[in-house]
Amino acid sequence: MLPKVYFVIPCYNEEEMLPYTIEKMLQKFDDLLKKGLISENSRIIFVDDGSKDKTWQLIKEATKDIKFVGVKLSRNCGHQNALMAGMSYALKFCDCAITLDADLQDDINVIDEFIKKFEEGYDVVYGVRSSRKTDTFFKRFTAQSFYKLMRAFGVEIVYNHADYRLLSKKALEFLMQFEERNLFLRGIIPLIGLKSTIVYYERQERIAGKTKYPLKKMLSFAFEGITSFSVKPIKYITFAGFLMFLLSIAILIYAIVQKIRGQAIAGWTSLTISIWFIGGLQLVALGLIGEYIGKIYKEVKRRPLYLIEEIAKDEHE
> pLDDT, tens digit, for every residue of 59-89?
999 999 999 999 999 999 989 999 999 999 9
The β-bridge partners of 99 are 8, 165
- Tens digits of residue pLDDT in 183-226: 888 888 988 989 999 999 988 776 655 655 555 666 666 666 66
CA separation for the pair 191, 308 (Å, rounded): 27
Judge contact between 107 and 203, C-beta under 8 A: yes
Give the H/E segment covering residue 209. Answer: none
**Would you list the DSSP string of 88-117?**
HHHHTT-SEEEE--TT--S-GGGHHHHHHH
Packed helices 55-62 and 18-34: angle between N→C axes, nearest 10 degrees: 30
Instruction: Specify the pairing of strand 5-11 against strand 96-99.
Output: parallel
For the whole model, what pTM was predicted?
Answer: 0.75
- Mapping DSSP to helix (H, G, I), strand (E, B) and coil, where does residue 69 land? strand
Superfamily for 5-212+304-313?
Spore Coat Polysaccharide Biosynthesis Protein SpsA; Chain A (3.90.550.10)
Q: What is the mean pLDDT of each run of 10 residues along the chain (317 residues)?
A: 95 93 95 95 95 94 94 92 94 95 91 95 92 68 72 75 92 91 84 92 70 60 63 69 69 68 59 66 74 73 84 70
Closest among 201, 186, 203 to 135, alpha carbons compared: 203
Percent of the chain whose pLDDT exceeds 90: 46
